């Protein structure tokens, strides 16, 4: 049966599909962090809907919340009309915001995807500032639509599309391991901040008055690269001093993924615009932007879209937010993160082909390197995408689903559910260790 499904997919679905292109998997059922294929094989899911499934698959509080909506005949689709559920969801959303902006922010529901909310954020700051260009970061990822791709720093993916939007400028992200300045250590963050500040003050470069800066505090698709916290504070200072809105893309990092509800809390900063999707809908499609009141320049109808305010996603999202708060899930994220980092750190000491282990919370990356290649100025070997792919395949054969990302797809990424138990984490790590050894044998 599985082969029949796979044949159909191969024949009929675009090659653009990502994960299923490489792996012969037809999922029949899923619960928690386990997925089961139609033949009964089980896998640990460390992809978790690209970070969407905060509570794992089909968590009982999510299932119950969805069932309640159906049983109470709450309308499934209302455009963005009010329902008690929507208002409760909004209240919950505001309650998790930092105090400084809790009572002075607005929320706008967007289309169902992360890219929709990023588009809305850019449109908003453009309207509010009349600024032209947007500043984004090398290696960043914000979506696959035209404007979001224009802001994504992965240039190889859009080479053939030529210029999508001309007024995006890329800034160096503080990627310490592959420091854009060839320095490394704390110089990476310092030089990046200095570079950005100088650039903004240079009247000859044409970007003196951008409409905003968009950043991920941990680059996800870019290879699980956490930004230095002092650098984030500097970025906040530099943008605030010049009246440039700072947009933090929390699509992947948000709702507990990094061990705080919002990842910018680690740095103690508050952005002007927060972009949310993925986990905010409790595993169903939803996205939204939250922004400071003074940016609320849109007249009625200025930002529309049919699918905003999906009631099932609000119910699932509300249940997820409450569960995270009430069950102290953030503490689990931190403990499991330490467990991952300690184990992976020890693995790095054993295998020279593991160049770097990094992350924040449960957004963790292992960068594979080619020990036969030429070392860079910092003494690091080049990224080894083929090896990462071989390990990914080995993991799959051993019952573990992981994603790859980053430069040359050389980074193996772990995005398990935030509720992963100590035991499950140990199992995942043991499978990973075995798979690395197999791929290198």
Residues making contact with ligand PMP (CB under 6 A)? 50, 113-115, 118, 141-143, 216, 220-221, 249, 251-252, 277
40: its two tokens: 């009964």
The conformation of residue 260, written as its DSSP 8-state character, comes to S
199 exposure class (CB count in 10 Å sphere: 0-12, 13-18, 19+): middle
The nearest distance, CB 160 to ligand PMP, in angstroms, is: 20
Give 30 or 251: the residue with its C-beta nearer to ligand PMP.
251
Nearer to ligand PMP, 114 or 382 (CB): 114
Q: Which of 379, 381, 358, 359 lies closest to 369 in space, CA to CA? A: 381
**Nearest distance from C-beta of residue 64 to ligand PMP, angstroms:** 25
State in angstroms the smallest separation of the CB of 288 from ligand PMP.
12
* Shortest distance (Å) from residue 280 CB to ligand PMP: 11
Q: How far is the CB of 164 from ligand PMP (least distance, A)?
A: 15
The Cα 319–Cα 45 span in angstroms is: 21
Phi, psi of 363 (to 5 degrees): -130, 90
Closest CA to 235 of 225, 251, 246: 246
Q: Scanning the structure block, which residue is given the tokens 């009010």?
A: 82
Helices (H), 96-207: 99-102, 114-129, 146-150, 187-201
Closest CB to ligand PMP among residues 38, 145: 145
Residue 272: how many CA atoms within 13 Å on its side-chain side? 24
Task: Check: CB of residue 76 under 8 Å from CB of residue 311.
Answer: yes
Of 131 and 223, the one with the shorter C-beta distance to ligand PMP is: 223
CB of 51 to ligand PMP, least distance (A): 7
| Residue 145 C-beta: closest distance to ligand PMP, Å | 7
Our CB check for ligand PMP shows the closer of 142 and 292 to be 142
* Residue 227 DSSP code: P
Please give the residue whose beta carbon sits closest to ligand PMP in the complex.
Answer: 114
- Distance CA(283)–CA(415), nearest Å, equals 14
Q: Which is nearer to ligand PMP, 118 or 431 (CB)?
A: 118
Q: Which is nearer to ligand PMP, 164 or 183 (CB)?
A: 164
């Amino acid at each position: 049966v599985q082969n029949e499904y796979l044949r159909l997919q191969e024949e009929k679905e675009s090659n653009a599909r990502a994960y299923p292109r490489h792996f012969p998997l037809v999922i029949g059922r899923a619960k928690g962090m386990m997925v089961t294929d139609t033949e009964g094989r089980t896998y640990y899911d460390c992809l978790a809907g690209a970070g969407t499934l905060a509570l794992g698959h089909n968590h009982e509080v999510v299932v119950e919340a969805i069932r309640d909506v159906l049983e109470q005949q709450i309308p499934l689709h209302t455009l963005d009309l009010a329902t008690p559920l929507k208002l409760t969801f909004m209240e919950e959303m505001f309650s998790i915001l930092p105090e400084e902006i809790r009572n002075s922010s607005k929320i706008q529901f967007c289309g169902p995807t992360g890219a929709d909310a990023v588009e809305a954020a850019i449109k908003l700051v453009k309207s509010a500032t009349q600024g032209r260009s947007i500043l984004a970061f090398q290696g960043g990822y914000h979506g696959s639509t035209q404007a979001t791709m224009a802001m994504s720093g992965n240039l190889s993916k859009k080479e053939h599309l030529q210029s999508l939007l001309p007024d995006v400028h890329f800034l160096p992200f503080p990627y310490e391991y592959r420091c854009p300045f060839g320095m490394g250590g704390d110089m990476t963050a310092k030089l990046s901040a200095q570079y950005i500040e100088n650039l903004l003050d240079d009247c000859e470069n044409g970007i003196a008055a951008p409409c905003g800066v968009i950043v991920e505090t941990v680059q996800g698709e870019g290879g699980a690269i956490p930004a230095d916290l002092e650098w984030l504070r500097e970025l906040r200072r530099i943008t605030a001093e010049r009246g440039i809105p700072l947009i933090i893309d929390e699509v992947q990092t948000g709702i507990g993924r990094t061990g705080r509800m919002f990842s910018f809390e680690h740095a103690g900063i508050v952005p002007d615009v927060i972009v949310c999707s993925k986990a905010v809908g409790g595993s169903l499609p939803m996205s939204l932007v939250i922004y400071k009141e003074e940016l609320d320049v849109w007249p009625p109808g200025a930002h529309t879209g049919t699918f905003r305010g999906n009631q099932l996603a609000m119910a699932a999202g509300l249940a997820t937010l409450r569960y995270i708060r009430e069950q102290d899930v953030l503490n689990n994220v931190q403990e499991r993160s330490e467990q991952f980092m300690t184990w992976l750190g020890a693995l790095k000491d054993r295998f020279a082909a593991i160049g770097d282990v990094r992350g924040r919370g449960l957004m963790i990356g292992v960068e594979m390197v080619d020990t036969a290649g030429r070392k860079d100025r910092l003494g690091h070997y080049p990224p080894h995408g083929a090896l990462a792919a071989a390990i990914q395949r080995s993991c799959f054969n051993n019952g573990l689903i992981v994603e790859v990302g980053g430069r040359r797809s050389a980074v193996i990424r772990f995005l398990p559910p935030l509720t992963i138990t100590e035991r499950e984490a140990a199992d995942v790590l043991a499978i990973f260790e075995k798979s690395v050894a197999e791929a290198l044998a």
